[in-house]
Structure 1
Amino acid sequence: MRRLAFGTKIKTLSLGCCIIVTSDSVNRKTNTIASVKVFLRRVEITQPDHFNNDMMVIHGLQGFIAPFYCS
């Protein structure tokens, strides 16, 4: 997800719904891209790839995100 462009929309399992990916461009403390924080609608991903079976990925989040309808 770190490689996705800021504002990328990703479809969810809810039909017609998406989430938006955002991130810090560079970690302010270390100035490295490897430690960039990734967010889904302003909620930080705290446990990336909690589950991944190559068809579906589940991440641990800092809070709750509500999907919205894609346009």
Structure 2
Amino acid sequence: MKETILTSRQQMLSPDQLSFEMGLIPTPEKMEMNRKVTYFLIGSAVTIAVAISIYNIYSNYQEKKKYTYYN
């Protein structure tokens, strides 16, 4: 395992600040960005699912309408 040498400034930082600086844990800004991206992806998936459902319902309606017209 590689040993990391800390500067004197890093030695005086609090453990959470040192972890943020070294990239061991995500910063609050990065966590907020990840949350926004997650919400965007979920919203996109729901929108696509609703659009596909509406299209299927409409196409079934058109098919039934066409079938009842000829019979």
Report the TM-score, using the length of structure 1 for normalisation. 0.19
Higher relative strand content:
1
Question: Which of the two has higher C-alpha Rg?
Answer: 2
Higher relative helix content:
2
